[in-house]
Structure 1
Amino acid sequence: FSSIIGFISVDLTLRGSFFSYSTAAMFLGTWAILWVAHAALANPLLLDDDLLLEQPRLLRQVAPGRDFLFLNNQVTPIWRASATLTGDNAEGGPGGSVIFRQFTDFDPVVVNLNVTGLTPGKHGVHIHQYGDLTESCKSTGPHFRRSLIGNIEAKEDGTASVEFASPYLSLCGPNGIIGRSLVVHEKPIEYNRFPDIAAAPSDIEEDNPSPPQTEEQKVGGIVACGVITITKSKE
């Protein structure tokens, strides 16, 4: 009987040690995971496209030519889009370029817009529905109202250069602007509540950030336009 009691005592002791070791291992594992996640969030690691040859082929098919951001233990493509702006007539006129960048779906889109050949003063900038230039800027369609840019102001020499981050733009998804067009109008957009670029109204609606007015009738004709396409993310 005493031998049985001794066996049970040894068994319980071993089991207790096992559970203690298991608990400690789980604690250390959880701590290690949290430490790695914190390090990734605090110091996101930018990975060059050339270093990702071993990544799954599907990722490279979905986002070819991208740089990548290692965030939240996931490799995320850094999206970059651009458009080359040309005048709406055969004699030339205004021109320029625009670059869009977005790190994740939840980040604002960073816009860098440069235009030359404008008349001095403010000009409205819209995203239009279609990326179609078969009839020059006339075939870009109506204003894509699920996006918002605003006005730019040209100097006396006809140049305008702005850089800003907009929460009212998205490169991808149902409201994505890739494949659509950016247009510059003759006149400024008459926003009573937010007159200039990157300024937000106080009572903005999530699904329609533009105020309910016929802007296309007020901003005049299109002086320059370009199709927004995905471009190589390296400078």
Structure 2
Amino acid sequence: MKVLIALALLGCSSLVKADQPKKAIAFLQGTSGVTGNITLSQPSCTEPVFIEVTVFGLTPGKHGFHIHEKGDLNDGCASTGGHYNPDKVTHGAPNDQVRHVGDLGNIVADENGLAKTSFSDTVVSLYGSRSVLGRAFVVHAGVDDFGKTNHPDSLKTGNAGGRVVCGVIGVLFLSDEPEQPCSSGTPTVLPALICLLITFFAVRVLGN
């Protein structure tokens, strides 16, 4: 009986197997000596991604900050394509319901040209078919207007101006474990309850 209970526990353990955390990094290079790095970390496919940004050599003030669709730097930042926008919607602010996946707003450089910040985002992901791995970060010369002005480019790019610095998003840490299908927002407590019920009935049935 103990062997059968152990097998039941082993079987249901697959229901509660957690995603392996993922980490990524982008090293930025651009015009006029602008450099920097950006790291991303995500514990699982149902949790936000945490983004840490450090950029040196910018002009003081706000700069549009986006993920672009292509990790292609053959022609510098110009070859990274448009904002990553798999849903084909209009441009917006990071907290807007309608926005590109790549819409991350602005970063702010101080009087020394240093932009250093960190934040979480619930739309960007390192998992699945919409992963941003292999795409590119781009920092722009001007301010992202969040699609709120009458400029012709406002709903496309936020009218953020030229591309100052960019870098491809590469893998920093990726587990050797095969990636599990995302639970698509299913509460993490549900698989644990299912596992407990399986174990309870196994003990009751096999104990009689």
Residue 161 of structure 2 is aligned to residue 223 of structure 1 = no
Q: Which of these residues, 166, 173, 177, is aligned with residue 132 of structure 2?
A: 177
- Report the secondary structure of 1:107's partner residue: coil
CA RMSD of aligned residues (A): 2.9
Q: Which of 146, 166, 190 matches 1:191?
A: 146
Q: Percent identity?
A: 35
Q: Which has the higher contact order (CA 8 A, sep 6+)?
A: 2
1:118 matches 2:58:
yes
Q: Which is greater in Rg?
A: 1
Map of 2:19 onto structure 1? 76
> Helix, strand or coil for the counterpart of 1:165?
strand
Among candidates 57, 73, 79, match of residue 139 of structure 1: 79
**Aligned-pair CA distance for 1:72:** 6.8
Structure 1's 71 and 108: CA in aligned 2 closer, same or farther, altered over 3 A? farther
> Residues of 2 paired with 1:153 and 1:161: CA distance?
8
> Structure 2: 5+ residue runs without aligned partners?
86-99, 149-153, 175-208
Aligned mate of 1:162, from 114, 117, 121: 117
**CA-to-aligned-CA distance 1:46-86 (integer Å, 9 cap, x gap):** xxxxxxxxxxxxxxxxxxxxxxxx99741531100010000
Q: Which residue of 1 is the match for residue 186 of structure 2?
A: none
- Name the counterpart of 1:205: none
5 Å-filtered alignment, 1:33-44, equals none
- Asked if residue 109 in structure 1 is aligned to residue 49 in structure 2, the reply is yes
SS in 2 for 1:190: coil
How far the C-alpha of 1:172 sits from its partner, in A, is 2.2
Distance 1:164 1:72, change over 3 A: farther
Say how many residue pairs are matched.
150
